[in-house]
Chains A and B, each alone.
Chain A
Amino acid sequence: MSEHGRDERLERAIDAALRQMVGGDGPADMRGRVLARLDEPPRRAPLRVVALAAAAVILIALAVVVGRHGRSVPVPPAVATARHPQAAPANSPSAPVIPHSPAPVVRPRPLSPSPVPAEVETAGGQIEPIEVAPLTVAPMETPRWAIAPLRIQPMEIEPLADSQPEQP
């Protein structure tokens, strides 16, 4: 049997197998299927979806944290009116004052309550500064430490006697 003949047979076998592997023409209605899907919105890439999900989780976590530490407190309507002086015209004192928004104005609660308010709101809508006496802090006095130097007593070691009998 010639080498050439065997080579040809193997080539034919390979070609036949390859034709089976990539021999199809695809579905005959490919055109219809594609045209039917032309108006579909493009699929989002998986990475983009993951990024969006991560961003959403972060936003939710931030909202929870802010909600816990910065809880809104209702403010009386009088104060709310004072915050909007344009709502009460100055040249018509007899006219009843009607706030623009009936809902109370809310302020976030400060994170750490301050013992001395920085400003006081008055009914006139003006804010008067409060004078705060400067704090004087006395310097701390710490007791002085005195450490006595260590003294080591000289040790006396007796020399071993040679005449002692050995233990069994």
Chain B
Amino acid sequence: MIPVFFPTGSPASASKERVSDAELVARARQGDTAAFGELVERHRAAVYRAAQAAVGSASEAEDVAQETFLAAYRKMATYRAEASFKTWLLTIAWRRALARRRRLASLWRRLVSADPPEPASPEHSRTQERVLIEAERARHVMRLVRALPARLRDPLLLCAAGEQTYHEIAIVLGVPEGTLKWRVSEARRRLKQRLAALGYGDE
């Protein structure tokens, strides 16, 4: 096993600057699990968010993310570097997440009825009442997002994850970049229209 050197600072930050993904991939191919661990650390958020966009549940997304990395490690020899390693990884994650979404028979009911995750920690200046109002509004928006057709919802959530460019997401979804942008725009337009019909935005 070839050791991975982290010359300065914390391992993650140092290796991010000094070692490229391609180099880590080459080392991982030779059986360097530490190098592969570094790849996991670099891309875990992107993979997790992509999985979350597809399956809608944190625990399912965790499972998908782990399975994605394990599959990537086993398929490492098939990676041809035609796209970036991250895009390749996200494509695996997306396919696995969609497969899981299909397998879950009760997914739709769960998505519609599930309680949303806990909201992010509120700012200290906001009042509790304001936080509750915003949480309620967020709940409405999430329900509306989940009610969107998958062809609009998936691009919207993947773009909202903020970890990938339009180009990368277009590759992952297998659609032209222009189509992707239109779908995101259309999804937002529909959401705004429905929220306005519910009386939001006038306060």
Contacts and interface: CB of A to CB of B under 8 A. Distances in A.
Chain A binding surface, main DSSP class = helix
Given A9-B201, A21-B52, A40 B70 contact: yes
Contacts of B40: 30-31, 34-35
B37 A20 contact: no
A10 B195 contact: yes
A24 B116 CA distance: 13
A1 B47 CA distance: 41
Contacts of A23: 49, 120
Interface residues of B, number: 46
Chain B binding surface, main DSSP class = helix
A56 interface: no
Contacts of B145: 14, 17-18, 21
B192 interface: yes
Interface stretch (B17-25, B77-85, B153-161, B174-182): B153-161
A15 B36 CA distance: 33
Interface residues on A, range: 20 to 34
Contacts, number: 122
A1 B116 contact: no
B129 interface: no
A24 B58 contact: yes
A13 interface: yes
16 contacts: A6-B202, A7-B192, A9-B201, A11-B192, A16-B134, A17-B141, A18-B141, A20-B120, A20-B142, A22-B53, A30-B40, A31-B41, A34-B69, A35-B36, A37-B66, A38-B73
Given A20-B117, A30-B62, 5 more contacts: A6-B196, A10-B195, A14-B145, A22-B161, A30-B41
